């Protein structure tokens, strides 16, 4: 049984189709990449899994049980956390306050200090800046804070929407190194990325979305070697 399995997911925004037929599976311990051009449906897919938009059709199975249509807080409680596109931080609040908000659904409150320690160990920069306002941080630091906030709920699966967007190449390298470290600690990741190159380097498996449907899938290496993928996403 896959940790997460999405079958024929459809999401509508009024009369508009967000996604029409997304199918994917995520096995425990993997990094899975969701690739596709702007507007392909990556964010919609992640938001539907996280319970932020209601599916109009299809199935989302978590550890074999349907979760589609559950409210977001129940999905967080089951072990799925989202680090959203554009980070959605409370910019007027401190780094630590933002992290604590990520733990709102942590069932065992005694775990909170341990989760904070874990995030501060992963990102020493956040520890140094714990009292600083989130809005005064650099792009890379904000991405780390968004990741750290998602990790505060002690997820089994981390959904990451465009972690490299707007970041300098050196910072992107750091972010991806962190993702590999999280994988080594046993976390499972589903990562939406417009820039396919790095995503395919770290991904065990990848899916390509086109206008709201899954059109290709394979191992990271298979897709990196696929002529169509190279032409569309890798500039080759």
Residue ranges that bind ligand ADP, judged by CB under 6 A: 13, 16, 18, 36, 38-44
Q: Considering the rule CB under 5 A, would residue 43 count as an interface residue with Mg ion?
A: yes
Closest separation in Å from C-beta 119 to ligand ADP: 26
Q: Which stretch binds Mg ion (CB under 5 A): 81-89, 169-177, 196-204, 222-230?
A: 81-89
Q: Which does 36 bind (CB under 5 to 8 A by kind): ligand ADP, Mg ion, none?
A: ligand ADP
**Residue number, 36 or 51, with CB nearest to Mg ion:** 36
Q: Which stretch binds Mg ion (CB under 5 A): 47-55, 80-88, 89-97, 216-224?
A: 80-88
Q: Cα angle at 17 between 41 and 200, to 5 degrees?
A: 10
Cα–Cα distance, 79 to 116 (Å, whole number): 17
Closest separation in Å from C-beta 194 to Mg ion: 7
Judging by beta carbons within 10 Å of its beta carbon (0-12, 13-18, 19+), is residue 169 exposed, middle or buried?
exposed
Provide the b/e sequence for 34-54 (b: ≥16 CB within 10 Å). bbbeeebbbbbbbbbbbbebe
Q: Which does 39 bind (CB under 5 to 8 A by kind): Mg ion, ligand ADP, none?
A: ligand ADP
Cα–Cα distance, 200 to 196 (Å, whole number): 6
């Amino acid at each position: 049984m896959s940790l997460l399995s999405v079958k024929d997911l459809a999401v509508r925004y009024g009369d508009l189709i967000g996604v029409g037929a997304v199918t994917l599976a995520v096995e425990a311990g993997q990094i899975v990449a969701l690739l596709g051009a702007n507007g392909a449906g990556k964010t919609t897919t992640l938001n539907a899994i996280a319970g932020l938009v209601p599916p109009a059709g299809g199935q989302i199975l978590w550890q074999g049980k349907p979760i589609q249509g559950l409210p977001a807080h129940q999905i967080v409680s089951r072990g799925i956390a989202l680090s959203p596109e554009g980070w959605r931080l409370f910019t007027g609040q401190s780094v630590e306050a933002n992290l604590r908000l990520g733990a709102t659904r942590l069932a065992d409150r005694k775990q909170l200090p341990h989760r904070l320690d874990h995030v501060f160990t992963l990102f020493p920069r956040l520890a140094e800046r714990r009292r600083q306002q989130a809005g005064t941080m650099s792009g890379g630091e904000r991405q780390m804070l968004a990741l750290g906030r998602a990790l505060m709920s002690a997820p089994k699966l981390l959904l990451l929407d465009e972690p490299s967007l707007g970041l300098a190449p050196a910072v992107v390298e750091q972010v991806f190194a962190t993702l590999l470290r999280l994988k080594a600690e046993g976390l499972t990741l589903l990562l939406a990325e417009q820039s396919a190159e790095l995503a395919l380097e770290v991904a065990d498996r990848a899916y390509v979305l086109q206008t709201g449907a899954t059109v290709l899938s394979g191992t990271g290496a298979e897709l990196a070697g696929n002529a169509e993928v190279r032409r569309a996403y890798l500039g080759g």
